[in-house]
Structure 1
Amino acid sequence: MQEVKPVELKMFYRTQRDLAIDLNKLVDSYWQEELKDNELINGIKNLYENNQEKLIKDNHFTKVVQQQCGKRRLAVVEKVLEIK
């Protein structure tokens, strides 16, 4: 059996692209059942709280994040953050 390695998240990201990459890892790990619900929720909320300006602009996900993450992943993020 393969050992599950937890997703390592930074607190602050330099670029939107770096943020999007780790957001993808977080959601993908959840979908592969490597993370529990509360771990996903806490991870997304922490990313959002510390990197708000890189994740959301004018009540929408930034363009880079949209392009890197895709609609299905962002739908999960949206639900967790209760955006809209």
Structure 2
Amino acid sequence: MEIKMFYRTQRDVATAVNQLVDAYWEEKIIEQKLIDGIKYIYKNNQEKLLKDNAFTKVVQQQCGKRRLLIVERILETT
């Protein structure tokens, strides 16, 4: 699975997050790769992922609560 450095839209960021978390759930990637991928996406696309310390509406709608709970826990450890 390839992760881009910069994404064009919030929808693209949400799709990348979905692919990462789903690959982890399907045991296609290890936990550390999930953590590194989420941190990498967040570092380079923070404004598309979060707004006023909350996930943007587009990301919330595209990813869902279960995936975002995982992302939130990963980001809390940074």
Please tell me the TM-score bracket, short chain as reference.
Answer: over 0.9
Of 14, 20, 36, the match for 1:20: 14
The ranges of structure 1 where at least 4 consecutive aligned residues each deviate by more than 6 angstroms after the TM superposition are none
Q: State the match for 2:29 in structure 1.
A: 35
TM-score by length of 1: 0.89
Among residues 60, 65, 68, which one is paired with 1:66 in the alignment? 60
Bigger Cα Rg: 1
More helix by percentage = 2
Q: Which residue of 2 aligns with 1:46?
A: 40
Structure 1 vs Structure 2 CA RMSD: 1.0
| Structure 1 residues not aligned, in runs of 5+ | 1-6
Residue of 68, 75, 82 corresponding to 2:69: 75
Identity of aligned residues (%): 66
Structure 2: segments with no counterpart, 5+ residues: none
1:71 is matched by which residue type in structure 2? K
Q: TM-score, normalised by structure 2?
A: 0.96
